[in-house]
Amino acid sequence: MAEMPSSPKPPAPQGAQAASRHEGHDPTGQHDHRQEPGQELRDQTQALMTQGKEVAAEYYEEGRNQIRAWQQHLEKHVREKPLQSVLIAAGVGLLYALLRRR
């Protein structure tokens, strides 16, 4: 049997070429440069997110440290002047109860 030489592939329909270009690939396999700005934007967004997380973590730690310092100061004050602390707490409780009744 004689082998027939293979014929070249028929060109893809025009719609298939447009669809492959739309997906970011052209028929020759070259990279579509329209994706680069999107990638750059994604990288910038991720960098900003990372920076935002770091700043938020710093603020969180700073706030936590301030609350701990305030708590220690309050405990020290209560230990130094227990009667005054109890009277202040009672006054605040009374004021709260009066305001709540209205």
The domain ranges of the chain are 37-101
Place of tokens 């710093």: 58
Is-above-0.85 flag for pTM?
A: no
pLDDT, tens digit, for every residue of 66-102? 999 999 999 999 999 999 999 999 999 999 999 999 8
Among residues 54, 58, 60, the alpha carbon closest in space to that of 46 is found at: 54
The confidence score (pLDDT) of residue 1 equals: 47
- CB atoms inside a 10 Å sphere around CB 44: 10
The confidence score (pLDDT) of residue 102 equals: 80
Query: Of all residues in the chain, what percent carry a pLDDT higher than 70?
Result: 66
Which DSSP symbol is given to 12?
P
